[in-house]
Each structure stands twice: as C-alpha cells, then as structure tokens.
Chains A and B, each alone.
Chain A
Amino acid sequence: MVLNRILETLQKGDVKQIADLIGQAFDAGMTPEEVLNQGLIAGMDVVGQKFQAGQIYIPHMLLAARAMHAALDILKPLLAGNGNARAGRVVLGTVRGDHHDIGKNLVSTMLEGKGFEVIDVGIDAEPEKFVAAVDETIQIVAMSALLSTTAPFMGETIEALERAGLRKNIKIMVGGGAVTREFADSIGADAYGADAATAALLAMELVASQKEAR
C-alpha cells in the first residue's frame, strides 16, 4: 500500500517519487495527518533505528532527510494548527567554540521526523545565542558538544538561561561525543542522548513530562 511505499521511498531518498506517492495517498482519501504519522514519521523511525544499529550510514541519513524535507514542504501547509510544530519547538545548536555539526544536523533531522520544529542556532553558538532564541513557544533547548574543551559551555549556557529567567519553562537535552550521562547530570541537564534516534524519543518524553507538570 501507498504508505508503505512512502516509508520505503524515504529510505531511498527519492524526492520526486515521494511527492508522487503523497499525491497518490491523497487520491486514496488519506488525510495529511495520516500521511505524516503513518508514512513519514514511521519511515524516519525506521531510518533512525537502522542508523543506530549500523545498518546504514550518515550519507543514507542525509538522503532520507532530503526526502523528508521535500515531503514536509508538501504536507506542512495542509496540516491543521501550527504546521510542523505539532510535537513542539526545539532550539538546537553546537556550543561555543565547537564547529562539529554532523551529529547536530542528524539530531535535527530526527526531531523534525518526529514532528518537532527545530530552531537551529548553528555551530560555535554562544550562550547568549541560545538565550536569544528561546521564547514562550520553546519547550526544549538541545545542545551538542564534541570537544572536552567545549562541553563546559553547555553548563554556562544553562546558567545563562537561568539568569535570563527562562530555565524553569524549558527542558534541556544534551549530547555529542564529549558528553556522558554523568556529565549531563553534573551540569543539571534534564536528559542525555547517545544518538539522534534517542534524541527524538527523549524530546517526546520531555514534552510529555512538561505537559503533566503543568
């Protein structure tokens, strides 16, 4: 069936075919929400799991990301409510001094694949840059660090968010090669994820826990 084919096409990254298939899904009477949840999100889950297991590599993730973005461009205007931010809004960046961005970009892809809107503050992002990107629509701040020398700036960013009075409204998620769970705990982060698929799952949990608390 067409949703299965969307799922497969996503993994192959065929941008044109995915547009055709979404058209076919609509013709068959499916709603944009169904296409998104059972086609795209399900597809990106599979992609993320395969990556986690070492069955596919970064280039395949990029291919899937490209197809996903093409599909989202079609679906977004058709979705009810706030378009792509159904799951929540996340500020994501690599911290000050650190230029590694491949992991961060994969995390962004998997978050988008779960229906989050990602505000990417880029690499070498000063604490103030994270602070400036946070407003009342943001649920999560996610930080990446690959260097032992830059990981401490995660702690400084958390402090800057505190000083700006924003910390209590948001959850903090950290990851990247230089970060461990112990380190994440020591700087007062709410969650640590070892890979991009986990990052997306954690983000879902964090948003759920926030809703409960309110």
Chain B
Amino acid sequence: MNGKQRILTALAVKQADRVPLYIHGINEAPIIGIGRHITDGLPGVKDFRKMTDSEKFKVLDTLFLIHETYGVDGFTAFEIGHEINLDDGHVQDEFGVTYALSDFGLPVAKGHPIKEPQDLTRYTPPVPDRGHLLLLDLARDRFKGEKALFWLMRGTFVRCWRLMGMENLMLKMFDDPQFVHQVARMTLDYNLAQLDLLVEAGLDVLVIEDDIADKNFPLIAPDQFLEFVNFYNRQIVEAAHKKGLKVVRHSDGNLWPLLDILLDSGYDGLNPLEPQAGMDMARVKAYCGDRICLLGNIDCIDLLPNGTCGQVDEAVRTAIQDGGKGGGLIICSSNSLHPGVNPENCIAMFEATRKYGLYDTP
C-alpha cells in the first residue's frame, strides 16, 4: 500500500497494512528544526512571510522532504498567497480580516471587518481564488498520488469569529441571531465554492478546522453549536462527500459534550484528540472507534516540547495499542507541530509509528 491508500483505508475505518502517519499542521520552527536533520542550507527560524523567495522555496522543499524521509502518509496543504502585507507586523486576508504576526505561532486575527449588521451591508465577500491553492498543486506534483492530499479549510465558527470578533460573535448569538446566520451563510458559500476548486485540484481529504472547545468545555453551548456552527459545517461535509472526498473534523479541546452531534454529522475522521482535554484514546476508541477514524493524540502540549524521545516512543506505542485495533487510527500529534515542540521528539514520533504500526495480517 502507498500512503494515500493507507490513509483512505484508515478513514474508511478499515485496517491498512500499517497505522498511517500524518502531520496536521506545522510551523516554521519545527520544519526548520526537523529539516536540519536531513538537509543543509536552511534559513534561521522566522515567519514564512518574512523569508526571501529562495528561503521560502527551501523551506517548502524541506517540508516535502520531511514527508518523504519519515514516511508521513498524508500531506496537509492550506491557502498561501491570500494575504497582503499591511506593515512589518500585520497582514490582511481575502476577507479583510487583519492579523498581528507573532513569533509564538500563527498570525492572530485582530481587525474584524463585520462587527455590526450595517458592516455586512457594505461588505463584498471574497471569491475563492484558484491561485491560493498553490501548495496543493505543488504537493500533488511532488507526491504523484503516493500520499493522501489533505486541505485545511477553516470552518464556520473560526471564519465567523475572525470576521466579527470572538466575544462579539458570542454576544450576537443572543442579541441578533439573524445577523450571525447571515455571516455564517456567507462563509458557507465561500467554503462551498472553494471546495469545487479543491476537488478539481485533486484533493483527497478535506479537514474542517474549526476549534470549538478548550480543555474543559466547548467554547459555546451545545445548542448554540448546533444552530450557528454545525448546521453550516454539516453542509460542507455533505457537499464534500458528494464529490467523493473524505472529511475530517479538527477541533481542539474536550469534545465529549459535542461528540454525538459530530458523529451524527457524517465526518470520516476526528482530530486531534487532545489527551489533556479528556480525549483519551482508549475511551474514544471504545465509544466510537468503529464509526469514525481517530487521528492524533500524541501530546504536543507537554510531551513533544519537554519529554524525552523514549517517552514519545512509549506514547506512540500506547496510542497504537489503545486505538489501532481493526484499523481506523492515524497517528498524529495532539495538535499542530507548533514552535514549542522539540524537533527530535517529532522525529521520535515518526519513527515509533513505523516501529509499532505494522498490523499483523488480518
């Protein structure tokens, strides 16, 4: 089996030849840190946006190389080129949301263009741009069907809070539900139009990335989630299925209070299963492991930043033992490989997946 077949088999909740490996998201620092083990000439750690073209090219090539060298079975692509630089510290995306660049992670949404209903009447929504799928094109050409191609699509909650501001969105759910629905509908239209482009570009797996929980609770009440978020995300799932894609739901945090809703929405996979948020592999596997593929669970909060390679090896072994039975497991960190993770530990995670992931013949 190649990586793509392995991933698609696992997402069908079936058993592949071995447990597949996947990277959900990765910042510049770990690309460069891991990359130094396999190639020379990498730039120092800095924001991708601040790199020269040749540095960007080198970093992207290294990202591909990491997937090849360590047998990562799927590649995650995301929009590039959709932002314009406002000044040294700020960028703006195609929706008109402005972001502050941060040395400690992805840019953070700060300027929200649709705070009130009157902002919406003046607002022209963006049209998805084929050119922004460049990373997907590059990955498709590089991997030639050997690896499954994933795409990170921001879901309804994230798109809405970036447009409206998080606290404002939450209050508007009480004050002006119609307004929230209008904004949500607009983001849905955008996502559905982008989906068409993604299918044409050869996508295999759509990841709806829509963080909705912290380590204790959902960020909004389950009834609000159903009404304002899941109603729309679900339509993306249905559209993607019609086009033959697999769909993975990504959300941080404790998803137990929302799990039945998510299971009912038709997702093929659930990511990233944060251990600190009660998303214990054995428990989730027992609850729904026969219905949905589980992707994630290798702790990126404490273990990958501060643990030893031996501890990482052990965590992968345990996750495979708890979640691997019968297939439907993809090993991945419990969230993105963020700037705080230790590159050696990431490599230990990759290697351990190969070491323990082989299935005995069924």
Binding site for B on A (CB under 8 A): 13, 54, 56-60, 62-63, 66, 97-99, 102, 105, 124, 147-150, 177-178, 195
Contacts and interface: CB of A to CB of B under 8 A. Distances in A.
Interface string B90-131: 000000000010111100100000000000000000000000
Contacts of A147: 104-105, 340
B: contact size bracket:
20 to 34
Contact of A97 (B102, B166, B214, B217): B102
Which of A59, A63, A102, A105 neighbours the largest number of chain B CB atoms within 10 Å of its CB? A59
Contacts of A97: 102-104
A149 B339 contact: yes
A58 B220 contact: yes
Nearest to B224: A59
Contact of A148 (B170, B257, B306): B306
Nearest to B172: A59
Interface of A is mostly: loop
B170 A62 contact: yes
A98 B171 contact: no
A214 B215 CA distance: 39
21 contacts: A54-B216, A54-B217, A56-B221, A57-B217, A57-B218, A57-B224, A58-B170, A58-B219, A59-B173, A59-B220, A59-B221, A62-B167, A62-B171, A63-B174, A66-B171, A97-B102, A147-B105, A148-B306, A150-B104, A177-B214, A178-B301
Nearest to B341: A148
A63 B171 contact: yes
Nearest to A63: B174
Nearest to A52: B216
B74 to A, nearest CB: 26
Nearest to B215: A177
B242 to A, nearest CB: 33
Nearest to A178: B301
B104 A59 contact: no
